[in-house]
Amino acid sequence: MARWSALEEVCGLLGLKPLTKKGISFRHVRLAPGERAYVTGQPFRSLFVVHTGFLKSMMVSETGGVEVVSFPMRGDVLGLDGVYARSHPSEVIAQSLCELIEIPFQALVELWQDMPQLELGFFELISRELTRQQHLLLTLRSLSAEAKVARFLWSLSERFAGIGYSGTQFILRMTRQDIGSYLGLTHETVSRVMHALQQEGLISVDQRALTIHRSDVLQVMRRLPVRSRSR
């Protein structure tokens, strides 16, 4: 019933050099919208690679609120943050029908013994994740609300284009609330800014449906600071 993927296919999804090993394959897991790949605090056993579908990852902040950390899609890895504590600090919810490839961590570590390149590949993967996170942190705290939203839409567009969808016309799988949480804004502000962007003719929004008319302008706007935070 469940599909299986060979190591080679997984490497391809992750953007690693395609390595092959006989007899190694990984089970697919199906999630219906609203189902979770794992919940906060659950013991860490496996990593997951997104094969199909759209998800959101959430985490409780020190202030007790649940905030959105990322919106994973095809090719993204889930669960890397659980390696250290051996339990998941975040949780991941499917926003659509999803198919994940489960990679039992124990098996992965054993694989590394024979395949140093694979090991290095994963190390690079998590290092990239770290760099992205840092970048996001720096960037978000120095942008205006408008620039944040522009940046968000632009980055979504890039990601969609990267996995074979249209980069100019797509469905937002998340609520305004979720976008706000991710960007550190309220849902009212997100709504207002999207309206403003539409007025300026950069995009069209109708509920969740989005069309980008001027990605060039978005790309410039996404790096406009609030004013000049650090002189």
Partner DNA sequence: CGTCTGCTTGATCAGGGTCAACTCAGGTGG
Partner DNA sequence: CCACCTGAGTTGACCCTGATCAAGCAGACG
Give the interface with a copy of itself as residue ranges (CB under 8 A): 59, 61-67, 69, 80-85, 89-90, 109, 112-113, 116, 119-120, 122-131, 133-143, 151, 177, 181, 184, 186, 222-225, 228-230
Single-letter amino acid code for the residue at 199 = Q
**CA–CA gap between residue 121 and residue 12 (Å, rounded):** 12
**CA–CA gap between residue 33 and residue 226 (Å, rounded):** 37
CB of 74 to DNA, least distance (A): 22
Residue 96 sits in the site that holds DNA (CB under 7 A): no
CB of 6 to DNA, least distance (A): 36
Question: Do 98 and 57 contact (CB within 8 A), yes or no?
Answer: no
What does the angle CA 210 – CA 184 – CA 85 come to, to the nearest 5 degrees? 110
Residue 227 sits in the site that holds DNA (CB under 7 A): yes
**CA–CA gap between residue 102 and residue 28 (Å, rounded):** 6
25 binds, among DNA, a copy of itself, none (CB under 5 to 8 A by kind): none
Residue 194 sits in the site that holds DNA (CB under 7 A): yes
Single-letter amino acid code for the residue at 148 = K
**CA–CA gap between residue 77 and residue 147 (Å, rounded):** 27
CB of 13 to DNA, least distance (A): 29
Single residue of 41, 104, 162, 184 touching DNA by CB under 7 A: 184
Residues that bind DNA (CB under 7 A): 144-146, 172, 175-177, 184-192, 194-195, 205, 207-208, 226-229
